[in-house]
Structure 1
Amino acid sequence: MATVPTPRTWTVGELLTAAKLNTDLRNGLNFLLSGKPLAILGKTGNQTIPNSAWTTITWNSETVDRDAGHDNATNNSRYTAQTAGYYRVVAALLWNSGFTAKIRQTMVVKNASLAMFQGTGFGDADGSFASSTSLGTVFLAVSDYLEVQGMQATGSSWDVVPSSTRFELEWVSS
């Protein structure tokens, strides 16, 4: 769990020391620059999504996970908050090509029951590309978790492909 620094209130006449500067200034800057929770999750293979059914996306690749909120083996569909606060979230699914003008959707769900935000995408006219992205900011208490779900309406099962499919979370404020 990342420790969010507590700002110091200085008093008149207080002696400035290197230890106080390190604790009060350096540690706060280090947290903001390289210590705040950040996760970028991805996939290494396709995942088949049935027609017209919301399906939880699994993540088996981590570019970064500073706060150990994700595990590639256990509950690999989840990011579990280790540090409370507001998180900026992006969930992007790249769908296999081939169907044109069919709906693809992405939804971020909190604690398996509360839909936080949802995005919709459509295929290109030539069927070569389709994506859907969901983004927003959400408050997470310690142990709250987020999952990404995908849904498509092509008439048959369809794949989410690993290229550009990602789940990103960044702590922005307490």
Structure 2
Amino acid sequence: MANLPVPVLASEVAGNFFTAALARAGIYNAGTFLLNPPLFVGTQNTTQSTTTGAWTVTSLDTTQVDSYGGHSNTTNNSRYTAQVAGLYQVCGVVGWASNATGIRGARLHLNGAPIQGTAQMTIAASGSVHAMATPVRVVRLGAGDYVEVAGWQSSGGALVTNVGSDIAPALWVCWAGA
């Protein structure tokens, strides 16, 4: 039951009879949507080179869950595009290969622009794989709006992402309300 619209409850007026159509509009449709809201989890399974000193959106070439078809593993694969308007909880993570130089960061983007207050930065740990997660944010998306996770590093050269079993770039998006 993918791509259900946000249900609109039937308007009730005095003198209406409780019919099957009214029950379907007011109860069944709402229940069906709430049991199957838009949900996306995408991860990166192939390393990606990132430029030092620049924000780089991360490719997500593996879809774990996409209940409304808002992501493609091949076309614009850094994005989750909202199919249903509403409030969404969004969180991302970026992981890098072992490197002890510089700073690492992650932030969320909405329609290609940074979402204020989502950047997290830290100093790289000595010689170990490193990951940086964004805070969970509630973002209003219209149908067609898209979100991405971007990484930043200052190792002094190109640095590839890490795609281990426990640390890999990822994006989580979940519908939270109308």
TM tier, shorter chain?
0.7 to 0.9
Which residue does the alignment assign to 2:177? 173
Q: Percent identity of the aligned residues? A: 31
**Equivalent in the alignment of 1:104:** 104
Structure 1 partner of 2:9: 7
Map of 1:72-91 to 2, 5 A cutoff? 72-91=73-92
When structure 1 is superposed on structure 2, of 6-15 and 65-74 the one drifting more is 6-15
Matching residue's letter, 1:21: A
Q: Give a deviation string over 1:108-142, Cα, whole Å, max 9, x none.
A: 12222x21021223433x43231111131211112
Matched, 1:27 2:29: yes
Give the C-alpha shift of residue 12 in structure 1: 5.3
Give the stretch that moved more between structures: 15-24 or 69-78: 15-24
| Aligned AA (1:23) | A
SS state at 2:128 partner: coil
Tell me if the contact between 2:120 and 2:133 (Cα under 8 Å) persists in the aligned partners. yes
The alignment's C-alpha RMSD in Å is 2.0
Relative to 1, partners in 2 of residues 1:10 and 1:93: Cα closer, same or farther, differing over 3 Å?
same
Aligned 8 A contact 1:120 1:133 in 2: no
Q: Secondary structure at the match of 1:51?
A: coil
Quote the Cα distance in structure 2 between the aligned partners of 1:45 and 1:122.
Answer: 24
Task: Give 1:90 deviation, angstroms.
Answer: 0.6
1:128 is matched with 128
Structure with a larger share of its residues in strand: 1
Q: What count of residue pairs does the alignment treat as equivalent?
A: 170
- The answer to whether the 8 A contact 2:107-2:134 is kept is yes
Q: Distance in 2 between matches of 1:2 and 1:19?
A: 17
SS in 1 for 2:33: helix
| One-letter amino acid matched to 2:98 | S
Is residue 10–residue 22 contact of structure 2 (8 Å, CA) maintained in 1? Answer: no
Unmatched segments (≥5 aa) in structure 1: none
8 Å Cα contact 1:40-1:166 kept in structure 2: yes
Q: 1:68 corresponds to which residue?
A: 69
SS in 1 for 2:134: strand
Unpaired runs of 5+ in structure 2?
A: none
Instruction: Report the TM-score when normalising by structure 2.
Output: 0.84
Q: What TM-score, normalized to structure 1?
A: 0.86
